Amino acid sequence: MKNYKQDSKTKKLDIEIYKSRIERKNLIWVEKITNSIKKKISKKKYKINDIGCNLFQFYKGLKKKKLLNKFSYFGYDHDRTYIQLGLKYFPELRNRFKILNIEKQTPRKTDISVISATLEHFCDPDRGLNNILKSTKKVIFIRSFFGRKKIKKLFKDKKYVDNPYYVNQFTFSWLKNKLKKYDFKEMTIVKDLATKGKKRLIYPEIKRKFYIVIAQKDVV
C-alpha cells in the first residue's frame, strides 16, 4: 500500500509559499503556542519536539521571543526537501533535526511536543499519534482538523494536487481517549485564530476546521 502524505511533491507550488512565509511572516498559530508555552515554563530547560517541522517556522517563533535558552529544540519531518530549505535560514539546526516517519518510528523522549497541520495528513493517524504521545512527558500542542465525525479522506484531484494525500478529520472524543491512554489529565480546546475559528473550504467538497488542543500530564 502506498503512503500518501503531504510533502514537497504533493503541491509543488507550496514550496514557494513556505519560503515566503519563513522570510516575511510570523505565523499566528506559532505566536499562540509560543505564548502559551511561555506562561507554562519555569526556570529549568525543557526538551521540545517539533513534529512536521517543515522549514522550522516554530523554531523561528521561539527565536523571535528569545526563548531558545529555555529549550533543547529538535525538529522532525519525513521530507528532506523541507529540511534542506529550512537549514538555509537556520544553519544552527544542522544537528538538531531528523528525517523520520513518525508513523513507524518514535521520536526522542521530550517534555513538550508540538504538531501543527500534520496529523491530518497521516496515513495511519492512530499509530502516528501513539508514537508522539508515548514520547511526551508533560505537554502536547496539537493543531489539526476536528469535527463531529472522524473522516479519512484521500484527495487526489489532479487539478489541485500533483500527488494524492490525505486530508483527514478527527473527533475530540477520539483524541480524548488517546490522551487518557497516555495519562494526559487536562485537555483544553482553543480556537485557531490563524483561520479565525471558521470552517474553511480546503478543496471542492472538503470543508475542515482547525483547532488547537493543549493537553498536559502534570505541572510543567
Quote the mean pLDDT of the chain. 95
Evaluate whether residue 2 is within a structural domain: no
Q: Are strands 136-145 and 110-116 parallel, antiparallel or unpaired?
A: parallel
Q: What is the pLDDT of residues 102-112, one digit of tens each?
A: 999 999 999 99
State residue 155's pLDDT score.
Answer: 96
State residue 23's pLDDT score.
Answer: 97
User: How crowded is residue 92: how many other Cβ atoms within 10 Å of its Cβ?
Assistant: 12
Q: What is the pLDDT of residues 57-104, one digit of tens each?
A: 999 999 999 999 999 999 999 999 999 999 999 999 999 999 999 999
Length of the chain: 220
Per DSSP (E only), the strands in the chain are 46-51, 71-77, 97-99, 110-116, 136-145, 154-155, 165-166, 186-191, 200-203, 206-208, 210-216
User: How crowded is residue 73: how many other Cβ atoms within 10 Å of its Cβ?
Assistant: 26
State residue 50's pLDDT score.
Answer: 98
Closest by CA position to 120, among listed 198, 191, 54, 208:
208
Evaluate whether residue 45 is within a structural domain: yes
State residue 51's pLDDT score.
Answer: 98
In what helix (H) or strand (E) does residue 38 lie, and over which residues does it extend? helix 28-40
- Which domain does 108 fall in, by range? 14-216
Q: What is the pLDDT of residues 157-198, one digit of tens each?
A: 999 999 999 999 999 999 999 999 999 998 999 999 999 999
Helix intervals (H) in 74-181: 80-89, 125-133, 172-181
Q: Does residue 1 surpass a pLDDT of 70?
A: no
State residue 188's pLDDT score.
Answer: 96
Q: What is the pLDDT of residues 110-156, one digit of tens each?
A: 999 999 999 999 999 999 999 999 999 999 999 999 999 999 999 99
Domain count, the chain: 1
Q: Which cell numbers hold the place of 182? A: 497516555
Evaluate whether residue 3 is within a structural domain: no
Closest by CA position to 11, among listed 163, 134, 208:
163
Q: Does residue 219 surpass a pLDDT of 70?
A: no
Q: Does residue 220 surpass a pLDDT of 80?
A: no
Q: Does residue 218 surpass a pLDDT of 90?
A: no
Q: Which cell numbers hold the place of 76? A: 522532525
Q: How wide is the angle at C-alpha 146 spanned by C-alphas 140 and 48, nearest 5°? A: 15
Evaluate whether residue 125 is within a structural domain: yes
The separation between CA 13 and the C-alpha centre of its own chain, rounded to angstroms, equals: 20
| CATH classification at residue 147 | 3.40.50.150
Whole-angstrom distance, CA of residue 198 vs CA of residue 188: 18
- Which amino acid makes up residue 148? R
Residue 62: helix, strand or coil by DSSP? helix
Residues 6+ apart with CB under 8 A from 35: none
